[in-house]
Amino acid sequence: MEGSPIPVLTVQTAPYEDQRPTGGGGLRRPTGLFEGQRNYLPNFVQSLLSSIDLRDRQGCTMVVGSDGRYFSRAAIDVVVQMAAANGIGRLVIGQNGILSTPAVSCIIRKIKAAGGIILTASHSPGGPGGEFGVKFNVSNGGPAPDVVSDKIYQISKTLEEYTICPDLRVDLTRLGRQEFDLENKFKPFRVEIVDSVDIYLSLLRNIFDFNAIRSLLTGPSQLKIRIDAMNGVMGPYVRKILCDELGAPANSAINCIPLEDFGGHPPDPNLTYATTLLEAMRGGEYGFGAAFDADGDRYMILGQNGFFVNASDSLAIIAANFSCIPYFCQMGVRGFGRSMPTSTALDKVAKSMKVPVYETPTGWRFFSSLMDSGRCSLCGEESFGTGSDHIREKDGLWAVLVWLSILAARKQSVEEIVRDHWTKFGRHYYCRFDYEALDPRTAYFIMRDLEALITDKSFSHQQFAVGNNIYSVEKTDSFEYMDPVDGTVTKRQGLRIIFSDASRLIFRLSASSSVRGTIRIYAESYEKDPSKHDKEPQAVLSPLIAIALKISQIHERTGRKGPTVIT
């Protein structure tokens, strides 16, 4: 801390009308908008900081991290400069600006920070032509609740100025404390650069039996694994935790260098985009495979020969095997949670355990409320997000370590564990069909007309004949959720058609996209008979999909011939 105090400037600006967070306090837009539109990033950061009450903001500690995508370094500079000017007392930042979303949640809770700012657009593409995002996590470590997101948006619509210290420069490469003397500030502004992995790793050591996992990965019957970080934030975590700490060979981990464009591929852990991992697993050399998204909160599990475990099944299997995890044995299991579109496989496990299940809208903030109140211990979403109450975010690496713990305890393969689960609880055939990059008005009107159709009394108990299958409508609705903690009601969270055989069709307009619309169609069919558990999901679900296409007219109204992505 040398020289003259750093000046604090007030900059005049004009508000933007499109800075409404899409859920959980996050704003996701094309990178070019953040980079090129005058004051676009400072406006949102100021709105975010101003949403924190002044008495809570002055002198507080916040956490900052990014998934390493293009524009992250420049954006971190802006966040640091504005945090200092707005009275934040200390920032804790991952080295080189790198922190996974689970690690940010962990650190917020560990140091009792006021919140955190995560620079990520999740699984969306990076690079100059990709997407960028700014996400706000609150003091419990979880995504901002809707009331906070609404406050940020209201501030953004009338913003006339922001404050910044443009001359403040932080060295993100150097671990340790850096202090800065600011004009008209009695105390110096402090930045602490921390190892990106260490605090999170300490938490995991208290959750899992690392010795058991180490023996699985290094013993005489060593399980060969293949882990794909997809050139996102998880590279350092995979190398330090799975390789250095747990003994997996260094060549078990691929694509572990965070790249600004994620190597030119969407960092989305599914069968469409994680093709490098899928091909390696199909070769039969590896017994366990996993991939992570850009910010490390989503994951995918594959078994030998490319055996795919869908996210809904993974959640249910983790619930059924909770006794393999020391953390759950010590803390107990109070309840489970799943997003409404997630298959009902978890419900079957919960019923056998006499544990309540909370069905919520999509968005981790709904689970955070349940966990804070002690109602929920394990939760997940069909979009490859699973987590527990150890933090308040979904956690990809935690889920992978759970799976390795189950493999170590049961001494079976991934496929054997899944098939045993199906035999005991039945198989939930499940697929999601994404229609991406739709005209927003077209997407809106498709959903509006579909809601009018299925909620009309004449639709109730209607029958659909497709081939040899007859589906009788038992229930339809536009899903709404009442939070059991505070009574808050969240409406219009997806359209549901539930048939008499418990099959489901769900239509949802995704809120995670930026300027284009995405309609997701989910199909689920339950099969108890083990002799019918070897069919291809799309073949089983094709009659339901035919019904979905007929009533939605999505191909006719969009000009599409099929979905963009199938998971």
**Residue 515 confidence (pLDDT):** 56
The one catalytic residue in 122, 124, 196, 314 is 122
Residues in the chain: 567
Going through 274-356 in order, the beta strands assigned E by DSSP cover 288-292, 299-303, 307-309, 336-339
Burial of 318 (0-12, 13-18, 19+ CB in 10 A): buried
Which pLDDT score, from 0 to 100, does residue 185 have? 78
pLDDT value, residue 81: 98
150 contact partners, CB below 8 Å, separation of at least 6 = none
Write the DSSP assignment of 200-228 as a string of letters.
Answer: HHHHHHTTS-HHHHHHHHHSTTPPPEEEE
Residue 265 carries which DSSP code? S
Q: How far is CA 92 from CA 50, 73, 77, in A?
A: 19, 15, 13
Nearest to 242 by CA among 292, 294, 173: 292
What is the residue-level pLDDT of the chain in tens, covering all 567 positions?
A: 557 899 999 999 999 999 999 876 699 999 999 999 999 999 999 999 999 999 999 999 999 999 999 999 999 999 999 999 999 999 999 999 999 999 999 999 999 999 999 999 999 999 999 999 999 999 999 999 999 999 999 999 999 999 999 999 999 999 999 999 999 777 899 999 999 999 999 999 999 999 999 999 997 889 999 999 999 999 999 999 999 999 999 999 999 999 999 999 999 999 999 999 999 999 999 999 999 999 999 999 999 999 999 999 999 999 999 999 999 999 999 999 999 999 999 999 999 999 999 999 999 999 999 999 999 999 999 999 999 999 999 999 999 999 999 999 999 999 999 999 999 999 999 999 999 889 999 999 999 999 999 999 999 889 999 988 999 999 999 999 999 999 999 999 999 999 999 999 999 998 654 557 899 999 999 999 999 999 999 999 999 999 999 999 999 999 999 888 788
Can you give the pLDDT at residue 559?
94
pLDDT at 512: 57
Nearest to 113 by CA among 98, 126, 103, 125: 103
Task: Specify burial of residue 129 (Cβ count, 10 A radius: 0-12, 13-18, 19+).
Answer: exposed
User: Could you tell me the two tokens for 326?
Assistant: 């020391």
Domains of the chain plus CATH, in order, are 9-195 (3.40.120.10), 200-425 (3.40.120.10), 427-566 (3.30.310.50)
In one letter, which amino acid is 460? S
Give the CA dihedral 406, 236, 255, 234, nearest 10 degrees: 60
From residue 295, alpha-carbon distances to 124, 125, 126, 229 in Å are 10, 12, 12, 10
pTM: predicted TM-score of the whole model, two decimal places: 0.96
Give the count of beta carbons closer than 10 Å to the beta carbon of residue 347: 18
Nearest by Cα to 92 from 198, 235, 210, 221 = 198
Tokens of 192: 């602490």
C-beta separation of 116 from 140 below 8 A: no
Catalytic site includes residue 122: yes
One-character DSSP codes across 93-139? EEEEEE--HHHHHHHHHHHT-SEEEEE--TTS--STTSEEEEEEE-T
- Mind spelling out the 3-state secondary structure of 46-83? HHHHHCCCHHHHCCCEEEEEECCCCCHHHHHHHHHHHH
